[in-house]
Amino acid sequence: MLAHGMVHTYELSIPIFVSIWLVEFDVVNLGLTQLEVTAATLGLVVTAGYGLFGVGALPGGILVDRLGSRRLISLCLFGMAGSFVLLGLSPSLVVVTLALLFWGAAASVYHPAGLALISKGVEERGTGFAYHGIAGNVGIGLGPLLTAILLLFLDWTTVAIVLAVPALGAGLYATRAKFDETAAVGAGEGGSSKADAGVDSLGELLSESKRLFAGGFVVVFLVVMCSGLFYRGVLTFLPNLLEGLDAFAPVPLASLLPAAVADALGVEAGSGRTLQPERYFYSGLLMVGVLGQYAGGKLTDRLPVEYGLVGSFGGLAILAVLFLPVAGAGLVPLLAFGAVLGFFLFVIQPFYQATVAEYTPAGTRGLSYGFTYLGVFGVGALGGALAGAILTYATPAVLFTTLAGIAVLGALFGLYLARKNGSSAGSDAASN
């Protein structure tokens, strides 16, 4: 739970830093040449870290079987703490990039290790996964909020170092905690499936992957790719997009505090310290995601997951089309809209997680979730680069039209799965 919360705290605090880096850095010095810092440049920088976060999930899943969850989760926590210390010491965007790559590599092993630990070490798995999800949502919502609050009083480099402290503490705890990683594994559970013993060679990895993608999982993989692209595409530059709106004009911090408090904090009038409303809108949107996760989890037990995907993607497509018109309608409509967007961004996640389970054989379930996070976080990371390029060379309208197209594509894949599943059910009934 501690590690899951930390992973998402860092993951979703990065977009707040992006809006600062756009102002902080003018060029990227590559030695022989220099590149101007734009949304496109930063999109590539962030995509590098986020991409490694996803790509590393697959080898991370293999390492879990070899090294155990405890070691990998501890390494993940210490690695993330070290990466944010490096981020805080970054003198240039090149070092920022290295810090984000370091973070992505460290964070990538968490989901395979954490999910494996719960599935093998907790007898009441449903309750374990529920608490695990709650911890992730706490990090998703409160992490960016904490970052925004700290930025009121500290510069971004100091904030990055302060954020490293909780992961360091959690890492120390992880090395000392005593538990049985396989306490919930019965003698006959899983049988003698090869997947239960781990992947022993490249050839075995290829053969198991080929078997996995021979069925409906190939379409499920396209579904999770669409989800990842939309998620990263809409969130990476959201604070930066919002700060240009009149409703989110910066507010001098001194004007919000009693004079005595402002003096004690050194936030006198003219100090330049301002409250950035868009950061709190962004944090609030992510907090509403807790409700979306909960609702999505409940709905997976009440309706076919394929139709849940269709409805969720359809909602995201509509929201993408409406974003700019609502943003121009004033603060109150935008706040309500943000709540709905946060809900739909996260309601889809339980649906695709349940879909993976339904369209994969039990023997390759671990590998299938490795590929799932590769699609969501690895391929999905390209959404950040896509958003940055569009915002640099086109307009926000083009960005949200593109995101709507991605959501429509995801809905079509979900509809294909629904029809295929319906056809299969009909065939089985006829044969019976």
CA dihedral over 372, 5, 167, 98, signed as positive or negative: positive
For 41-63, the DSSP string reads HHHHHHHHHHHHHHHTHHHHHHH
pLDDT of residue 64: 78
The region, left, alpha or beta by phi > 0 then psi within -120 to 50, assigned to residue 145 is alpha
Q: Which residues contact 369 (CB under 8 A, 6 or more apart)?
A: 61, 111, 112, 115, 356
Greater model confidence, 82 or 362: 82
Question: What integer is the mean pLDDT of 189-211?
Answer: 62
Q: How far apart are CA 67 and CA 64, in angstroms?
A: 5
Lowest mean pLDDT among 209-213, 340-344, 347-351: 209-213
Length of the chain: 432
Q: What is the pLDDT of residues 220-229, one digit of tens each?
A: 999 999 999 9
Give percent of the chain above pLDDT 70.
87
Residue 189 has pLDDT above 80, yes or no: no
pLDDT of residue 426: 40
Structural Rg of the chain based on CA atoms = 22
Please provide residue 173's backbone torsions phi and psi, each rounded to the nearest 5 degrees.
-65, -40
pLDDT of residue 62: 75
pLDDT of residue 208: 77
pLDDT of residue 190: 44
Tell me which residue has tokens 């734009």.
38
- The answer to whether 135 and 1 are in contact (CB under 8 A) is yes
Q: Give residue 256's pLDDT band: very low, low, confident or very high (50, 70, 90).
A: low
Rounded to 10 degrees, the C-alpha dihedral 231/232/234/237 comes to 160
pLDDT of residue 262: 61
Greater model confidence, 202 or 96: 96
Residue 263 has pLDDT above 80, yes or no: no
pLDDT of residue 199: 58
Q: Which amino acid is at 363?
A: G
CA angle, residues 140, 108, 75, in degrees to nearest 5? 100
Q: How far apart are CA 376 and CA 395, in angstroms?
A: 25
pLDDT of residue 349: 87
Q: Give residue 192's pLDDT band: very low, low, confident or very high (50, 70, 90).
A: very low
Question: What integer is the mean pLDDT of 279-286?
Answer: 92
Q: What is the pLDDT of residues 357-400, one digit of tens each?
A: 788 776 666 677 778 888 998 999 999 999 999 999 999 999 99
Q: Give residue 402's pLDDT band: very low, low, confident or very high (50, 70, 90).
A: very high
Q: What is the pLDDT of residues 32-80, one digit of tens each?
A: 778 888 999 999 999 999 999 988 888 887 787 778 788 899 999 999 9
Q: In a 3-state reduction of DSSP, which class is residue 68? A: coil
Q: How far apart are CA 318 and CA 309, in angstroms?
A: 14
Residue 250 has pLDDT above 50, yes or no: yes
Question: What integer is the mean pLDDT of 140-159?
Answer: 91
Q: Give residue 301's pLDDT band: very low, low, confident or very high (50, 70, 90).
A: confident
Q: Which long-range contacts (CB under 8 A, 24 or more apart) does 266-269 make?
A: 267/153
Q: How far apart are CA 251 and CA 205, in angstroms?
A: 55
Residue 16 has pLDDT above 80, yes or no: yes
Lowest mean pLDDT among 190-194, 223-227, 320-324, 413-417: 190-194
pLDDT of residue 60: 82
Average pLDDT, the chain: 85
Residue 423 has pLDDT above 60, yes or no: no
pLDDT of residue 431: 43
Give helix then strand counts, H and E, for the chain.
Answer: 18, 4
Residue 194 has pLDDT above 50, yes or no: no
Residue 182 has pLDDT above 80, yes or no: no
Structure tokens belonging to residue 326: 């609502």
Give percent of the chain above pLDDT 90.
49
